[in-house]
Amino acid sequence: MPHTPYYLIDKSKLLRNMEKIAYVREHSGAKALLALKCFATWSVFDFMSDYMDGTTSSSLHEVKLGRKKFGKETHAYSVAYADSEIDEVIENADKIIFNSISQLNRFADAASGIVRGLRLNPQVSSSSFDLADPARPFSRLGEWDVTKVEAVMDRISGFMIHNNCENADFDLFDNMLGDIETKFGSLLSRVEWVSLGGGIHFTGDNYPLDKFCARLRAFSEKYGVQVYLEPGEASITKSTTLEVTVLDTLFNGKNLAIVDSSIEAHMLDLLIYRETAKIEPNKGDHAYMICGKSCLAGDVFGEFNFANEIRVGDRISIQDAAGYTMVKKNWFNGVGMPSIVIKELDGSERVVREFTFDDYVSSLS
């Protein structure tokens, strides 16, 4: 077994999400693209590609990764493309989606050889975090003025609309899609494809998949469009743990346990959104605050209950550690970066990547 910390991707758990995605594809007619901004661990792309249609990206590097490691359909999107990268983006993409009309007009001719689209902003979303809300006031993410979009319809064949964020409520999705139809219906009927983005938690427990499929199919048939979904978290939810080891325990008004990992370095979204990690079963008479080993005072995974006292050397599994973790991991404090380990369907485990001092050095100058 590798030394902790390491991310452990369990293919049997990943398979549950893949099978639900395959079900939605079959029963709704929608295509599913992996959102690389959330999860880009390409060692499982060969496994995922049997259940998904391709990838979608947010940068030149992600476009190239999707093309080279996942294959199939490759969508390129960026908030803004630079002159120095646009040719390489186009070279590696099947579709290019522009964030603004100005970017579309600037690069439409260069991209005339591939499918072109435009991002729309319906000015409403399901996000509970202003930081992540694509429809926040003065948002730079997409166009909202129908009149302005109508003027460039001859330059595009589809739209991308991303306004779902951690949305596990089908009724909310249904209502927001209805709002999109009200605002942009005159435009939707004039294009060939519409991506509804990510953030729809349709692989979660008890999500009404058949209702979801029926709604997607009705939308597709009403406007005559190919629907795309861009699952990120939905693709990998509950598939991965961050395996850590207790290095020290102390009492400072509460029982504390320090582990060989760090939220700032290895699960950054917990810090950004001030959320607590997940540890299961989180039951018992022994309460501990699980703390990271960096010098940041707030480097804390959360407070949890355990059946037994925690001792140095104990192993702890941090749950649901796939999304926005490996793509954001960093070298803060020079803390050792977690290895990446895959648990195969037969139960065997293999290390697919380890990070060393040389990786740390090469990331700097």
* Sequence ranges of the binding site for substrate: 233, 269
Strand partners, 283: none
Helix and strand counts by DSSP (H, E) for the chain: 12, 16
CA proximity to 277, closest of 285, 286, 288: 288
| Residues flagged as binding site | 233, 269
Nearest one of 45, 192, 36, 223 to 118, comparing CA atoms: 192
Per the CB < 8 A criterion, the answer to whether 122 and 160 are in contact is no
The 3-state DSSP composition of the chain as helix, strand, coil percent (nearest 5) reads 30, 25, 45
Long-range contacts of 354-359 (CB under 8 A, 24+ apart): 354/2
Spatial separation of the C-alpha atoms in residues 205 and 223, rounded to whole Å: 30
Residue 335 per-residue DSSP state = P
3-state secondary structure of 334: helix
Per-residue buried b or exposed e for 81-96, using 16+ beta carbons within 10 Å of the residue's own CB: beeeebeebbebbebb
For residue 317, the SS3 value is strand
What stretch of H or E contains 19?
helix 11-28
Q: Please tell me whether residue 108 adopts helix, strand or coil conformation.
A: coil
Apex CA 125: angle with CA 148 and CA 73, to 5°?
75
Token match 């005159």: residue?
186
d(CA 64, CA 185): 33
Residue 149, CB-side half-sphere exposure with 13 Å CA sphere:
27
CB atoms near residue 149 (< 10 Å): 21
**Which DSSP category does 66 fall into?**
I
